[in-house]
Structure 1
Amino acid sequence: MSSFRAAAIQMRSGVDPQRNAADLARYVAEAVAKGAVYVQTPEMTGALQRDRKALASVLKAENDDVIVRTASELAAKHGIHLHIGSTAIARDDGKIANRAFLFGPDGNILTRYDKIHMFDVDLDNGESWRESAVYAPGADTVVIDLPFARLGFAICYDVRFPQLFRAQALAGASVITAPAAFTRQTGEAHWHVLQRARAIENGAFMVSAAQGGVHEDGRETYGHSMIVAPWGEILAEADHAEPAVIVADIDPALSAAARSKVPNLKNARPFGLVVENDGQSERHSVAS
């Protein structure tokens, strides 16, 4: 594995996939001009649309999706690995996937990942989200070997489930990812600490492209796309909510070095959980 330059594209996707595809092409060209060979986009690159009927009206199967087609063309044109953080895809069973794609330098799809954890929350500012009412959750996390690193996939809310990233790290991933469309409220409270925590506890680089700003559908996202080193340093950040392209050089050897300094992946042990209640004890097994 060798050093490489990664880019995270911060977008403000609207409701029209065609316009978002045009923005994608412009931002990818900027990332390539900055030397990036791996380029990542945010969650819901293709469209941010809260209205279910309106989303359904632009929804396409994978083979007909404009973002999938555009990304394939851009990866081949620039000879890069292009990671679409996610876009909404119509599944064969009539449901919708929040799906990430990785395209190789020949334009072919190398792998896919469907978001596992659904953002079903009621925030204290009045926002309410029920992703499970729209999207079908995925069942498997994914890691893939690239010429320069083993890469792990996640999307947005997945970042709050450390066991997913631990599984990727134990499988040898030196770069983990969580492209997102974090709300402004949750982003202000938790975005930075979650990004750094996932990097530190797994001794891995964390690359997370984000949506930012006030979108056409009325939602507001936090932005602050980040690239974090295994020791927790922020290597690059779009420290605002405006569209931007950030880049950083990644040396996978630094992941191995961090894991040798703090070998928590090796030192983890199985343990039980004992629940004491009115003089009675119940013991449960817990995965390490």
Structure 2
Amino acid sequence: MPTSRVIAVQMCSVMKPEDNFLQLKHWLSQCEFNFPTLVCLPETWLAFMKTAGQSFELSKHYEYWLTKLGQLCREYNIWLAAGTMPVSNGLDKYYAASFLLNEQGEVVARYNKIHLFDADVADGSGGYRESKSTVPGSDVVVVDSPFGRIGLSVCYDLRFAGLYQVMRQLGAEIFLVPSAFTTVTGQAHWTPLLQARAIENQCYIVAAAQFGEHENGRKTYGHSLILSPWGEIMADAQQALGSISAELDLTQLHKLRADMPVQVHNRFKSEFYE
């Protein structure tokens, strides 16, 4: 298999989509694309809004931004995992939708965030109730790509190991986890949760994250990570904006799975997708 590379872009998204798109173009212009490359964006990359009404209004225009992303894919000859964007459900709510585009700018997969963040957190926000404005998804999404078989997830999904186990049963070799973790939960749980999902399922993980103090008053943890199937941190953006990258070696992944066939040994496989 030819050498392939993944890139995670760490952003501090504001409330104006045009500014975030320009931020994305800037970071792409700093990258070199010598190999087949998958670029991954964080959750709410397009706009980190303050109110649900603002996100709902943006959700009516997602197709315009998909067209703009498709142009970038063709320009740079890259695959792009577009974090999340709000997509109207046709009524009064929206999905947190994660799109995967190929080098032709075509949408090859869409995943709607299944687990919604309804939690009380000891930060400036105090609590979050994502379900008030967002419709939960229901479909597990795993798709073939030149980089390996990709399983899509988003942020709070990371706390639910069963989702990743099902994706692994469906053949996933790479998990994408675009996120906007709070500083409080990020400091406590971000890295160990990602390492656990990588180790349990013997998969690569690309977790592009938001970082910084945002225009909407939120504070996010950063530390975008790329992890190996052994749980090793291959790249860490720490607390800086920009991109990190790593090369994937599926030969090593398959050797690890053969040497330690945990999927075969698992006595508690989900029957959800049997």
Same fold (TM over 0.5): yes
Alignment of 1:262-281 (within 5 A): 262-270=260-268
RMSD between aligned residues = 2.0
1:180 match: secondary structure = coil
Residues 26-35 or 164-173, more deviating:
26-35
Report the TM-score, using the length of structure 2 for normalisation: 0.93
- Give the alignment partner of residue 117 of structure 1, picking from 101, 115, 118: 115
The CA deviation at 1:171 is: 1.4
Q: Does 1:202 align with 2:201?
A: yes
Q: Is the 8 A contact 1:61 1:91 kept in 2?
A: no
In structure 1, runs of 5+ residues without a counterpart are: 272-284
Tell me which residue corresponds to 2:130. Answer: 131
Q: Is the 8 A contact 1:2 1:251 kept in 2?
A: no
Alignment of 1:137-286 (within 5 A): 137-240=136-239, 242-270=240-268
Q: C-alpha distance in 2, partners of 1:152/1:270?
A: 20
Tell me which residue corresponds to 1:25. Answer: 25
The CA deviation at 1:230 is: 0.5
1:232 match: secondary structure = coil
User: Judging changes above 3 Å, is the alpha-carbon distance between structure 1 residues 215 and 101 closer, same or farther for their aligned structure 2 residues?
Assistant: same
Q: Is the 8 A contact 2:89 2:135 kept in 1?
A: no
Q: C-alpha distance in 2, partners of 1:38/1:286?
A: 29
Percent of aligned pairs sharing the same letter: 35
Tell me which residue corresponds to 1:3. Answer: 3
Q: C-alpha distance in 1, partners of 2:160/2:2?
A: 29
User: Judging changes above 3 Å, is the alpha-carbon distance between structure 1 residues 102 and 197 closer, same or farther for their aligned structure 2 residues?
Assistant: same
The CA deviation at 1:105 is: 0.7
Q: C-alpha distance in 2, partners of 1:34/1:210?
A: 24
Cα shift readout 1:101-146 (whole Å, capped 9, x = no counterpart)? 1111111111111100000000134620000001101001111101
Aligned residue identity for 1:37? T
Alignment of 1:46-65 (within 5 A): 46-64=46-64
User: Judging changes above 3 Å, is the alpha-carbon distance between structure 1 residues 99 and 286 closer, same or farther for their aligned structure 2 residues?
Assistant: closer
Q: C-alpha distance in 1, partners of 2:51/2:5?
A: 37
Q: C-alpha distance in 1, partners of 2:57/2:72?
A: 25
1:246 match: secondary structure = strand
User: Judging changes above 3 Å, is the alpha-carbon distance between structure 1 residues 87 and 31 closer, same or farther for their aligned structure 2 residues?
Assistant: farther
Residues 115-124 or 43-52, more deviating:
43-52
Tell me which residue corresponds to 1:37. Answer: 37
The CA deviation at 1:33 is: 4.8
Q: Is the 8 A contact 2:40 2:81 kept in 1?
A: yes
Aligned length: 271
Tell me which residue corresponds to 1:104. Answer: 102
Higher strand share: 1
Residues 52-61 or 129-138, more deviating:
52-61
Q: C-alpha distance in 2, partners of 1:229/1:136?
A: 32
The CA deviation at 1:93 is: 3.5
The CA deviation at 1:60 is: 2.3
Q: C-alpha distance in 1, partners of 2:95/2:174?
A: 24
Cα shift readout 1:223-266 (whole Å, capped 9, x = no counterpart)? 000000001110001111x3110000011122212222322111
Q: C-alpha distance in 2, partners of 1:172/1:211?
A: 28
User: Judging changes above 3 Å, is the alpha-carbon distance between structure 1 residues 125 and 148 closer, same or farther for their aligned structure 2 residues?
Assistant: closer
Q: C-alpha distance in 1, partners of 2:19/2:58?
A: 12
The CA deviation at 1:34 is: 7.2
In structure 2, runs of 5+ residues without a counterpart are: none
